[in-house]
Amino acid sequence: MATDLSSASTEVTAKAKPAGANDTKASRREVKVPKGTRDFDPLQMAIREKVFGIVTGVFKRHGGVALDTPVFELKETLMGKYGEDSKLIYDLADQGGELSSLRYDLTVPFARYLATKKLTSMRRYHIAKVYRRDNPARGRYREFYQCDFDIAGQYESMVPDFEILKVLAEILDKLNIGDYEVKLNHRRLLDGMLELCGVPAEKFRTICSAIDKLDKLAWEDVRKEMVLDKGLTEDVADKIGSLVKMRGKPMELLDELMKEDSPFCGNAASQQALAELKQLFTFMDVGKCINRFVFDLSLARGLDYYTGVIFEAVFTGTVKMGSIAAGGRYDDLVGMFSGVQVPSVGMSLGIERVFAIMEGQAGQLTVRKTQTQVLVLGIGKSLWNVAIGIASELWELEIATEFRCVAPGKIKKQLSDASEKDGIPWVVLVGQDELNQGIVKLRDMAAKQEEEVRRDNLAADLQSRICACAALKGLTI
């Protein structure tokens, strides 16, 4: 289904009535955001900024450089890369002979960028919105952010794969959202399994899409899809079922699969995949992150562009939530655009589900809606110039400051709001009597203490106090 944004806008303009026109029907119409989208209030935005800061910090620590690409791509760029999920791509109306679509993810645009610029190596991170014509559910939207980190270029086998997994584990640990596990598999091992079970090569991708549903559906439902919808015999489906149920600690399951009596023993693709996984697990063990991972043969990742290691992180806490991160190796994707193979591996954090988890924990988080450090309160409506003057001095020192003037009878309400609603640590109280004496009153909101400070020394005094507080316990968002 094409989404014609420009014509929709024209239609709204044409039907608009002059201000003040009487339209009873329109006045009763519910005002809401489109299905699968949402607004974000200041507390939610504070949580988002905190999360983005943590994620970006990890990306930069691993050498990532920022990149941005257009929110829409040529339709031909996106098609044929997502398997059965291609039906979820948002198409735009023809604009001057170019068929375009909203980006479905950040990986294909990155591969297109490498091909366009003729680059053969890059460590990039990209935090931006993507769009999918999906059925909205908890933590699942049609417009949402993804946070991607990718390593493209020639490296020693499994070295970048390890670092991508390490980046993912670092982020999920630092976000402190609760227990999680990362399921891991190898696309060539999966292909080898399908070959051993008797699946025709031309059905590999569509059967992978069915297997990928095992995190949402029971095996009986997936088996039915394989047999009735995708044409496998019951015997072949049952062989697949006996293998996809295998999961366990990485090294332990790997040892089982590499034994001489393993069904994978005589399959070349499987043997290569197992050798790569052995090297990867060794790196992960040395890198102290292997305990977060589960080797799971049911993990398929339905996207067509994966060629090697694939993984998916799931939250295992009390909140029921689907995948919170995923990724894998995609060595052929850049070559689809340029003809030049650029080996690549990457991860994508499904940040909306992380937000949903954190918003559910908002009462347990120390999160401030505002960054304000100082509130300047002029006591009396005639003190605007004084309040503005003090605020300007603090802004010059890069101290986050708000100012206002209030009647004497409203000071208590302002102090209560500053402390309980906004978490502002310092309040400057200035009245005409204090000004006549060359002083102001400075209140420490946490300690609930108030003292007099010389007006001409206020800015320097506050800067010193804020720096000392930051050195002791760090600034809280």
- 464: CATH: 3.40.50.800
* Same domain membership, residue 166 and residue 29: yes
pLDDT of residue 336: 92
Binding site annotation covers 105?
A: yes
Question: What pLDDT, on the 0 to 100 scale, is given for residue 226?
Answer: 92
| R_g of the chain computed on alpha carbons | 28
Q: Are 406 and 458 in contact (CB under 8 A)?
A: no
For residues 96 and 92, give the distance between their C-alpha atoms in angstroms, rounded to a whole number.
12
Residue 11 has a pLDDT of 39
C-alpha–C-alpha distance, residues 330 and 344, integer Å: 5
Euclidean distance between CA atoms 312 and 323, whole angstroms: 6
The pair of structure tokens assigned to 210 is 């069915």
Q: What is the pLDDT of residue 351?
A: 83
Task: Report yes or no on 214 lying in a domain.
Answer: yes
Residue 305 marked in a binding site: yes
Compute the residue count for the chain.
477
| Predicted pLDDT at 27 | 57
Tell whether residue 141 is among the known ligand binding residues.
no
Distance CA 159, CA 343 (A): 12
* 62 and 12 co-located in one domain: yes
User: Beta 65-66 vs 122-131: how paired, if at all?
Assistant: parallel
Token readout for 301 is: 């990742």
In this prediction, residue 477 carries a pLDDT of 37
The H or E element spanning position 91 is strand 91-92
Angle subtended by helix axes 42-61 and 351-360, to nearest 10: 130
Around Cβ 13, how many Cβ atoms within 10 Å? Answer: 8
Whole-number pLDDT of residue 125: 97
Tell me: do 211 and 308 sit in the same domain.
yes
Q: How many domains does the chain have?
A: 3
The reported pLDDT for the residue numbered 402 is 92
Residue 438 within a domain: yes
Q: How is residue 374 written in tokens?
A: 């100082």
Tell whether 401 is in a known binding site.
no
Helix-then-strand count for the chain, H and E: 18, 18
Can you give the CATH number for the domain in which 244 is found?
3.30.930.10
For residue 57, the model assigns a pLDDT of 95
Same domain, 208 and 303: yes
Structure tokens at 327: 């990724």
- The residue from 344, 369, 394 where one domain ends is 369
User: 477 lies in a domain?
Assistant: no
Do 141 and 98 share a domain, yes or no? yes
Kindly state whether residues 294 and 400 are assigned to the same domain: no
Tokens of 468: 């000392």
In a domain, 68, yes or no: yes
**Residue 150 in marked binding region:** yes
Q: Are residues 23 and 153 in the same domain?
A: yes
Contact 348, 210 (CB under 8 A): no
306 is in an annotated binding site: yes
The answer to whether 401 and 372 have CB atoms below 8 angstroms apart is yes
Range of the domain at 435: 374-472
**Beta-bridge partner residues of 144:** 130
β-strand partners of 321: none
Same domain, 249 and 267: yes
Full pLDDT tens readout for the chain, 477 residues = 444 433 333 333 444 455 555 555 555 678 898 888 888 888 888 888 888 999 999 999 999 999 999 999 999 999 888 877 888 999 998 878 889 999 999 999 999 999 999 999 999 999 999 999 988 776 678 999 999 999 999 999 999 999 999 999 999 999 888 889 999 999 999 989 999 999 988 888 888 888 888 878 889 999 999 999 988 999 999 999 989 889 999 999 999 999 988 888 888 889 999 999 999 999 999 999 999 999 999 998 867 789 999 999 998 877 767 789 999 999 999 999 999 999 999 999 988 888 878 777 655 555 667 788 999 999 988 899 999 999 999 999 999 999 999 988 888 888 988 887 778 999 999 999 999 999 999 999 888 899 999 999 999 999 988 888 766 554 443
Residue ending a domain, choose from 270, 289, 314? 314
Cβ 145 vs Cβ 127: under 8 Å: yes
Task: Give the distance, in angstroms, between the CA of residue 475 and the centroid of all CA atoms in the same chain.
Answer: 24
**pLDDT for residue 472:** 59
The pLDDT, as a whole number, for residue 41 is 84
Rounded to whole angstroms, the Cα distance separating 474 from 381 reads 36
Residue 24, pLDDT score: 54
| Residue 10 pLDDT | 37
pLDDT of residue 22: 54
318 is in an annotated binding site: no
Q: Where are the alpha helices (H) located in 212-328, listed in sequence order?
A: 219-224, 234-244, 250-257, 268-286
If asked whether residues 51 and 167 sit together in one domain, one would say: yes
Q: How far apart are CA 469 and CA 471, in angstroms?
A: 5
Nearest CA-CA partner of 305 in 58, 85, 21? 85
Cα(122)–Cα(345) distance, integer angstroms: 11
- CA 23 to chain CA mean position, Å: 42
Residues 118 and 11 in one domain: yes
User: Rounded to whole angstroms, how far apart are CA atoms 326 and 337?
Assistant: 23
Give the separation between CA 300 and CA 210, rounded to whole angstroms.
Answer: 9
Flag whether 48 is in a domain.
yes
Count CA within 13 A, CB hemisphere, residue 98. Answer: 8
Q: In this structure, is residue 111 part of a structural domain?
A: yes
Q: Last residue of a domain, which of 290, 314, 338?
A: 314
- 274 and 406 share a domain? no
Residues 6+ apart with CB under 8 A from 348: 105, 106, 107, 146, 147, 148, 325, 326, 327
Question: What pTM was estimated for this model as a whole?
Answer: 0.79
Same domain (yes/no): 156, 219: no
What pLDDT does residue 135 have? 83
Give the pLDDT confidence score for residue 4 in this predicted structure: 41
Give all strands (DSSP E) within 104-238, no chain letters: 122-131, 143-152, 180-186
